[in-house]
Amino acid sequence: MAIQTPNGFTLDTSGKRVVVDPLTRIEGHMRCEVNVDANNMITNAVSTGTMWRGLEVILKGRDPRDAWAFTQRICGVCTGTHALTSVRAVEDALKINIPENANSIRNIMQLSLQIHDHLVHFYHLHALDWVNPVHALKADPKATSELQKATSPRHPKSSPGYFRDVQNRLKKFVESGQLGPFKNGYWDNPAYLLPPEANLMAVTHYLEALDFQSQIMKTRVIFGGKDPHPNWLVGGVPCAINVHGEGAVGAINMERLNFVSSIIDQSTEFIENVYIPDIIAIGSFYKSWLYGGGISGKSVLAYGDIPDHANDYSPKNLLMPSGAVINGNLKEVHPVDLRDPTQIQEFVPHSWYTYPDEKKGLHPWDGITEPNYVLGPKTKGTRTNIQQIDESGKYSWIKAPRWKGHAMEVGPLARYVVGYASGHKEITEQINGVLKALDVPVTALFSTLGRTAARALEAQWCCHKQRYFMDKLIANIKAGDSSTANVDRWEPKTWPKDVKGVGFTEAPRGALAHWIKIKDTRIDNYQCVVPTTWNGSPRDHAGNIGAFEASLMNTKVERAEEPVEILRTIHSFDPCLACSTHVMGEDGRELAKVTVR
Amino acid sequence: METPRILILGIGNLLWADEGFGVRAVEALHRSYELPDNVKLMDGGTQGLYLVSHVRAADVLVVFDAVDYGLAPGSMKLVEGNEVPKFLGAKKISLHQTGFQEVLATAELLGGGPKHHLLIGVQPVELDDFGGSLRDEMKAQITPAIAHALGYLARFGVEARLRAAPLPDDATLACERMIMARYESGRPSEAEACRFGDLRVLMASPERSSGNERSLHPHQEDRMG
């Protein structure tokens, strides 16, 4: 029986059901169920966050100045972005203005995290959905060297001997039987389309990226003082600036600034000579595989980020674009107000939480996080071992946030669609460049590959903005301003009795905001709406499906028992379930168990 | 013998009760002992690939962690050498261990990586207590765990000097905002903060959805029609 969703999808559950649990190579735990018809087309998709989220409740009653540290420990990936969002929320509530240097440093750190996260995501969590490391063993190193030179003439590592060495190392690794990061693949699935040489080139870059990524981290270590968990501070940044200082512990001197500057140059080089060319090279073999767009061409949302000047979070001051596009109308970008109780609301009729009235959504300032684990009547299995989800009932630990009632996609592609629709010059140029290189129309953007390409373009954009803020920081210091923190309202006795605030960022995975209420100097309510809450949301009161579910619809799978296409599309969102839901996992199975019924 | 580069890592999530053991242990080691320059102590938290470069740069790796050995709660067990990654891969209690096994495999693939491994693991008493701290049995294992680590380091010629007085607790290696006393005293009450987790994955008893019991129950299945 087919159901029509208000956001334009036809769900048909009559075909066989495929269950993938857990989805591998993501942060956190997620389950996915789809129905496929006789032609192996996906006709219904159900995504379930299988862990419970509870950060809100453990922050209640705590010191608001500590909240960043807790949010930073939710998971191991976008630590800094939660911390930044949290300090912004507290500063908004307490009306604390930060110094210009703190704004530049925070931007450099946030951009560094974006670059780092995008690079690690592509090579280590996503590339293996397109690249087949086992087939790389069949490549001719000489032909690979020629391919490398044609793909990216400026990348120095391109000799046949270099590729032969990598191939031998890979061979030894595979033959030792321990495949390591390459285990659990579906390496003989026909969904892999690259020739052996492109596979070897990409696997080689996988290793280069692994090696390089630790460099990027160092920027955050220098400004944040601690590795691998940088420090943050309500009111600014915790590092002092002392340009004439030599080796002073912790203080930022010229030597350290020059070091950061050199990391920015190296990052730009790597992104432009390796990451972007790889995306174009891999994309050229997959450009007819245009599945996975979901709602990206219809409804996308960005809060914006990277304030040019300190303390102004209005759209014109944000270098990363903000706004909402709805109903596929790219001619209009709607302003987004995180304070307006009618704009962002979270719904729970299909989530394992309870509200007094579940037909209504709640704005995060009035949000309630009260778990209610009940299963729909058609669930197969037991409460502790579900065989098949009943999506007509509650079926996920993720809430369903909506913007003016619309299910929205967030993330690099959403930001790039908003940027493109609002005529953002740099973004439009980048998009046109890659469309031309691949010789595809703009509609190709609304796909799994479009999401993957947008992430790479954004990494490049972030490199250039890092340079901009680095120059700005140095100029400001040279002009005599070395202030990095405003501690006027550090002491709780200076705070009003009852205040609320909101902080937002564009996390690598998409729009992120924390809403806080502070009462008698303690946290009274804290709600996070994280990117994967938007993308991974279950259905809402009206039956709209979320971005993950929509992206799987009408995709053809080569083999129902091997979820290559499902993984490829879900991974393109870079899902992070650790903060959208809760942190415990079961027995650590890595190979996705796939059940076909 | 050249001076070996030694990395002592505490891994785990501070927010999940006994899951924080590794980080608390390395924090305590840092406060109590002075170590030579070739020994690096680190709060690894739940970081995955970000730790690869640190692991690769080490000849000797010591890991403090909460490990599900299937032993009595609070039991400590040491695992050495090649067994360490295998062990971490055999049965996992949390996400970061999947990540850490991969960190070791990746370090090897890239070349380099430690030749000597020691895992100092303690069987957790309680994990299902989000926002909670270490149980007493776990706290009691911190000093013995440190003694094992120092005993192991002695094989590599490392002499640790007990500090005349431990560093103050805000001199922590981990996070000043989350030092144990502050973390414990700032905790919201049970009435304010719901303390149970996901029934499906935590293998807890069904009544937990309405109650506040803490101990790990044997797996009970609530059959559905």
DSSP characters over A381-440: E-SSSEEE--TTS--BSS-EEEETTB--B-SHHHHHHHHHHTT-HHHHHHHHHHHHHHT-
**Of B92, B108, B224, which has the smallest distance from its Cβ to A588's Cβ?**
B92
The number of beta carbons lying within 10 Å of the beta carbon of residue A480 is 6
* Range(s) within chain B of domains with CATH label 3.40.50.1450: 6-181
Q: Is the pLDDT of residue A470 over 90?
A: yes
**What is the C-alpha to C-alpha distance for residues B118 and B58, in angstroms, rounded to an integer?**
13
pLDDT for A250: 63
**Of A69, A210, A384, which has the smallest distance from its Cβ to B203's Cβ?**
A384
pLDDT digits (tens, 9 = 90+) for A12-58: 999 999 988 766 666 566 788 999 999 999 999 999 876 655 677 78
Q: At what angle do helices A196-224 and A254-270 cross, to 10 degrees?
A: 160
> Hey, is the C-beta of A218 within 8 angstroms of any chain B C-beta?
no
pLDDT greater at residue A248 or residue A156: A156
Band of the pLDDT at A370, cuts 50, 70, 90? confident
Choosing among B49, B91, B205, which should be mutated to test the A contact, i.e. which has the most A CBs within 10 A?
A: B49
pLDDT for B93: 41
Residue A389 backbone phi and psi in degrees, to 5: -70, 145
**What is the C-alpha to C-alpha distance for residues A86 and A88, in angstroms, rounded to an integer?**
5
Cβ contact (<8 Å) for A52 and B198?
Answer: yes
DSSP E strand stretches across A50-195:
none
> Hey, is the C-beta of A74 within 8 angstroms of any chain B C-beta?
yes
Band of the pLDDT at B144, cuts 50, 70, 90? very high
Chain A residues within an 8 Å CB radius of B41: none
The predicted model scores a pTM of 0.89
Cβ contact (<8 Å) for B194 and A76?
Answer: no
**What is the C-alpha to C-alpha distance for residues A101 and A66, in angstroms, rounded to an integer?**
22
**Quick check: A466 and A111 in contact, CB under 8 A?**
yes
**Quick check: A234 and A65 in contact, CB under 8 A?**
yes
Q: Is the pLDDT of residue A229 over 80?
A: no
pLDDT digits (tens, 9 = 90+) for A491-546: 999 999 999 999 999 999 999 999 999 999 999 999 889 898 999 999 999 999 99
Question: What would the two tokens of residue A359 be?
Answer: 């037909």
> Hey, is the C-beta of A243 within 8 angstroms of any chain B C-beta?
no
> Hey, is the C-beta of A217 within 8 angstroms of any chain B C-beta?
yes
**What is the C-alpha to C-alpha distance for residues A275 and A201, in angstroms, rounded to an integer?**
12
**What is the C-alpha to C-alpha distance for residues B198 and A53, in angstroms, rounded to an integer?**
9
Q: Is the pLDDT of residue B216 over 80?
A: no
Nearest Cα to A3, choosing from A39, A298, A13? A13
**Of A59, A180, A590, which has the smallest distance from its Cβ to B106's Cβ?**
A180
According to DSSP, the β-strands at A510-519 and B6-11 are unpaired
Residues 6 or more apart whose Cβ sits within 8 Å of residue A408: A295, A299, A300, A301, A324, A401, A402, A414, A534, A547
Chain A residues within an 8 Å CB radius of B179: none
Q: Which residue of B has its CA nearest to A69?
A: B177
If you count them, how many residues does chain A have? Answer: 597
C-alpha pair distances (Å), A467 with each of A118, A426, A458, A463: 18, 15, 14, 7
What distance in Å separates residue A586's CA from the closest CA in chain B? 5
**What is the C-alpha to C-alpha distance for residues A33 and A560, in angstroms, rounded to an integer?**
11
pLDDT digits (tens, 9 = 90+) for B106-122: 888 888 789 999 999 99
**Which domains are assigned to chain A?**
97-291 (1.10.645.10)
Q: What is the Cα gyration radius of chain A?
A: 24
Percentage of chain A beyond pLDDT 90 is 71
Residues 6 or more apart whose Cβ sits within 8 Å of residue A480: none
Chain B residues within an 8 Å CB radius of A29: 95, 201
Cβ contact (<8 Å) for B192 and A60?
Answer: yes
Q: Which residue of A has its CA nearest to B198?
A: A52
**Of B50, B192, B206, which has the smallest distance from its Cβ to A228's Cβ?**
B50
What distance in Å separates residue A328's CA from the closest CA in chain B? 37
**Quick check: A407 and A347 in contact, CB under 8 A?**
no
Q: Which residue of B has its CA nearest to A51?
A: B198
**What is the C-alpha to C-alpha distance for residues B56 and B104, in angstroms, rounded to an integer?**
8
Q: Over range A194-210, report the average pLDDT.
A: 95
Cβ contact (<8 Å) for A382 and B222?
Answer: yes
Location of structure tokens 């450099």: A108
CATH topology of domain B6-181: Rossmann fold (3.40.50)
Chain A residues within an 8 Å CB radius of B42: 227-228
Band of the pLDDT at B186, cuts 50, 70, 90? confident
Nearest Cα to A587, choosing from B106, B203, B120? B203
Q: Which residue of A has its CA nearest to B133?
A: A58
If you count them, how many residues does chain B have? Answer: 225
- Any idea which of A178-187, A277-286, A316-325, B112-121 has the lowest mean pLDDT? A178-187
What value of ipTM does the predicted structure carry?
Answer: 0.80
